Structure 1
Amino acid sequence: MADQQMQIGEVAERTGLSLRTIRHYEEVGLLVPSARSKGGFRLYTEVDIERLMTIRHMKPLNFSLEEARELLDILDALQETGATGEDRQRLRGRLESYRQVADARCEALRARLEMAEHFAASLRREPPARD
């Protein structure tokens, strides 16, 4: 399935992203379609879908597009076989810093969700009668 090529509409459906968003990510250099059809249509693979999902998963944690670019560059570099041991160590350190920030932001979101759920539950309770 990794070699299967999909047009942008299928990618949008699979990722939950709009065509406009996918095209924007291409314009800003976060995604390059794996190929183009003879008619000039963008063609994407599972690797491209994974890349888009990484970006999509970063958004609720308020990572910027620049941070997404940096993280994708780190992940790409770690997959390359030419990186030296020192380079790989530096890249792993940067990846770990992203993990720590993501964990902290997830914890903050959990705390906000807990407050929101408490508020929603308070609205479901019957207000006390006034005399």
Structure 2
Amino acid sequence: MKKLTNVAILTLVALFSASSFAKWHGCQEQNLIFFAYNIKHTKAVELCQTEEGYRYTFGPIGKPEIILEKDSNDVTRGGGMAGGFDIKNGDIIYGVMEDKFGNSALIVQKSDYSKVLAEIELDSGDKAYVNKTYEYFH
């Protein structure tokens, strides 16, 4: 009986530990480069390293509106003093920037930088915020 109780407790611990990764769109923690919610926590932006290159997602957790699978040539380091990235998709660039004060934003613009299409402030103060850009882009 004691063995059965120990197995049940270990199973519950494993389930609760696995649920902590459910906040992301599907990236494994070891491959996560960037994750942030918008200020209202209704949507999130995520960048993961994959075997083929990178995966970018944006939208509500579990139902991303944008999913881009890109090779390394389409993803570059950029976006501010503290780090960020730019993802080129046709004539659009999805860029995340973080300034030296810790403020971050998602900026969607034309690839020739002629027009900003959207700018979304990100919650970089949230405990789920992750920015490992420096570890991946040199």
TM-score range, shorter chain: under 0.3
Structure with more of its chain in helix, by fraction: 1
TM-score (norm 2): 0.26
Structure in which a larger fraction of residues adopt strand: 2
TM-score (norm: length of structure 1): 0.27
